[in-house]
Amino acid sequence: MIRKVEYSIIIPAYNEEAVIRESYRRLSAVMESVGEPYELLFINDGSSDGTGTILNQLTKTDEHVRLLEFSRNFGHQIAITAGMDYAYGQAMVIIDADLQDPPELIPQMIAKWHEGYEVVYGKRIKREGESLFKKWSASLFYRILRSLTDIDIPVDTGDFRLIDRKVCNAMQGVREKNRFVRGLISWIGFKQTALDYVREERFAGETKYPLRKMLKFSVDAITSFSSKPLKLATYLGILITAVSLIYLGISVGQFLFAGSQAGGWSLLIAGLIFLDGLILIILGIIGEYTGRIFDESRNRPLYVMRSQSVQAKARPKEVKWNV
């Protein structure tokens, strides 16, 4: 039997053995203070440490805890998606297990929800415990993304947010493979507002977003919401053609009127190398978009479950809400 809850807290976890108990403790304390029915829905994203063991223990001692376990690591954005697929609440809060986003902010999000907002996203006004490069690159990424897209994707925001059941239902109809969840939520629309907060230093463990994953995440975001990079080839082609014609005119003029011979092999070789590099960059951009078309055409499931806790056995389609 499905137990009706008001709030679903969606917590993706990947190798968070060092912090998962503290994450559970703080989230439980916050939600108990709210005083309404809730669930803590953990998604074990193929962890190779003791995260899964700890979470399975919690499901046996606390009826509020539900657990989904992937067959392997499918990635943070897919884990969030699975959480939204299986959440039972009228409002869902997405929060990472590393405690950089403070659970104590959840009651303020709920208050905003009661005011009529359907998406309440956390906006980082300060980032503790992160390198200058991480802060600079993150700030640059959000501003580049915003300039490239026609969707109003808020800057300096992560996936830490509250979404209404209507938003969650709409997200279940968006099944693209290379996902940028915060962008998809902005694309869906509904009434949204920000809640400023200071992002804390990681409680324990190591970041799960090294430079390689950050770059992939950035490419996924840009290619999911903008086709402007594809137009780059046209603009660069026009520019290079114009420059080449000007240079050709100057060379012909020097030959006809100044008597100089057309030369400059080093300049010619440098130009060819530059053009070759440019062509490879453009082919790479086209390849990124083509690869995404290929991913979508295979129509594979977003994730595969290895196991589910007893509380998580029911499929989301069995839950009927009037929204």
Instruction: Reply yes or no on whether the pLDDT at 277 is more than 70.
Output: no
Please tell me what DSSP assigns to residue 96. -
Alpha-carbon dihedral angle through residues 161, 302, 174, 111, given to the nearest 10 degrees = -20
Do 218 and 311 lie in one domain? The reply is: yes
- In this prediction, residue 10 carries a pLDDT of 94
Look at the chain and report how many structural domains it folds into: 2
What is the separation of C-alpha 102 from the centre of its chain, rounded to a whole number of angstroms?
A: 19
Do 144 and 72 lie in one domain? The reply is: yes
Whole-Å CA distances, 122 to 31, 50, 69: 18, 30, 27
pLDDT in tens, 289-299: 776 676 666 67
Do 72 and 156 lie in one domain? The reply is: yes
Instruction: Reply yes or no on whether the pLDDT at 221 is more than 80.
Output: no
187 or 263, which is more confident: 187
Average pLDDT over residues 277-286: 71
Instruction: Reply yes or no on whether the pLDDT at 42 is more than 80.
Output: yes
Q: Of all residues in the chain, what percent carry a pLDDT higher than 70?
A: 59
Return d(Cα 121, Cα 292) in angstroms, integer: 28
Do 202 and 89 lie in one domain? The reply is: yes
Do 124 and 183 lie in one domain? The reply is: yes
pLDDT in tens, 313-323: 554 554 444 33
Do 60 and 90 lie in one domain? The reply is: yes
CATH of residue 56: 3.90.550.10
Are 92 and 168 within 8 A, CB to CB? yes
Do 279 and 170 lie in one domain? The reply is: no
Structural domain of 267: 228-298
Average pLDDT over residues 187-208: 74
pLDDT in tens, 83-138: 998 989 899 999 998 888 899 999 999 999 999 999 998 888 876 656 666 666 66
- Pairing state of beta strands 157-164 and 91-94? antiparallel
Task: Let me know if residue 323 belongs to a domain.
Answer: no
Q: Confidence band (pLDDT; 50, 70, 90) for 181? A: confident
Do 184 and 248 lie in one domain? The reply is: no
- In this prediction, residue 104 carries a pLDDT of 92
Do 157 and 276 lie in one domain? The reply is: no
Do 105 and 143 lie in one domain? The reply is: yes
Q: State the burial class of residue 193 (Cβ atoms within 10 Å of its Cβ: 0-12, 13-18, 19+).
A: middle
Q: What is the DSSP string of 215-239?
A: HHHHHHHHHHH--HHHHHHHHHHHH
Do 16 and 137 lie in one domain? The reply is: yes
